Amino acid sequence: MSTNQFTKPATAKVEDNILTIGGCKTTDLAKQYKTPLYVIDEESIRSVCREYQSAFKKYNNKNPNKKLFRPLYASKALCVGALAKIISSEGFGFDTVSMGEIYTLYKAGIDMKTVLFNGNNKTPEELELALKADIGRYSVDNFYEIELLSELTKKYNKKVDVLLRITPGIECHTHDYIKTGQIDSKFGFDLHQVDEAVEKILKNYEYMHIKGIHAHIGSQIFEDKCYYDEIEILVEEISRINKKFGLKLDEMNMGGGLGVKYVKTDKPPAIEEIGNGIISKLEECIEKYGIEPPVIYIEPGRSIISTAGTTLYTIGSMKQVLNGTKYVSVDGGMADNPRPSMYQAAYEADIVTKMNDEKAEKVTIAGRFCESGDILIKDIMLPKIESGDILCVYNTGAYNYSMASNYNSVEKPAMVLVNNSQSDMIINRETLDDLISKQVIPDRLKG
């Protein structure tokens, strides 16, 4: 079974009715590091990275002298130095969307030539940092950015390789907020704008070298047909641009977005299945449109890190509504996992010390934050619950810490990495002093 089709980390086991991850008892982790606590399973990350490499090995072998498959981890899912080291060691580069992500990778010692900078409104400061860090690729999103990047490359006397991000006009059946490839989108050049963008670069911007095109069609995608439609559009566009402008574009970034199994009813395609389908469609289109096999980039983020993550909470108060819902409150919620309130995201959970007990009562898991909408899981069946129990919520590696906030002036949780019965802190828990460290009281208010 493919790693993205698990609801729990690859190393999750039950020993004496207690959940273990990476050989570590979750009860011990909660005691040592306190809760809420993000727990990341190293083996799950490595397993899924290797699945991607294996799934595209056939395409990579088409040209033994040139690496045709170049996976990029979508850093926005979770950008942490320790995890970047793991992902890099598995042969992945990185897709970044901010100065902070670029800086995190730089400080972690990542080869910056493996980094691509993406985004619809890159600031001058961000582009300057990217130039100084000597990153490998820029995904140019709009005409403003062409002008800005041109000015900065001349200023720093640096030539850069770019991909043109296009909007392919594909809609995937996913949440509206995470659709990015449809015609009406803030991202990329519409197809009718592509030629003008190419002309501007070729005529006026000698410091920018167009290597290929880039698209992204959405997130949490379960339909493989979306990718095949995208390939058809991108290969045809590469062929058309090459013929019209006498170019040899040979890179194609398909973006990412492959879904994961948050709950039992989710049915994402396996990584190997997607890989085989993409290669088959790519071979068909290469022959149809008469181009050389391009270097292909994909940008998995969620499917790399999501299942590796589990969040531990301590259960506190409970409330039984007369003839209605039983609310069970935990010591975290929407500030450490905003996805349920933003996307109506669904999760599975367990009581870590009652893994084999009968799931006898239906409850709603409520967060501690001062919002009625702070509900993590609605109507889940769990064993009889007591205050002080440890609840684990699965599949919280992606877009949990990376979207976390300090709402209600609550400290962000710690994060630990587990592997072979060892746990290591990779993000320290915030302190109260951390919360106020950036605040300043003017002298005129003191006294």
Strands 189-190 and 160-167: parallel
Alpha helices in 108-253 (DSSP H): 124-133, 143-156, 194-204, 224-245
Per the annotation, the verdict on 226 as an active-site residue is no
Report whether 413 contacts 429 (CB < 8 A): yes
Is the separation of the CB atoms in 144 and 123 below 8 Å? Answer: no
How far is 338 from 400, CA to CA, in rounded Å? 7
Contact 330, 313 (CB under 8 A): yes
In the set 49, 79, 172, 370, the catalytic residue is 370
Gyration radius from the chain CA atoms: 23
Cis peptide before 338 (omega within 30 of 0): no
Helix (H, G, I), strand (E, B) or coil at 420: coil
Measured from the Cβ of residue 403, the count of other Cβ atoms closer than 10 Å reads: 17
Helix H, strand E, coil C: the string for 12-74 is: CEEECCEEEECCEEHHHHHHHHCCCEEEEEHHHHHHHHHHHHHHCHHHHCCCCCCCCEEEEEE
CB atoms closer than 10 angstroms to residue 110: 21
- Please identify every residue annotated as catalytic: 370
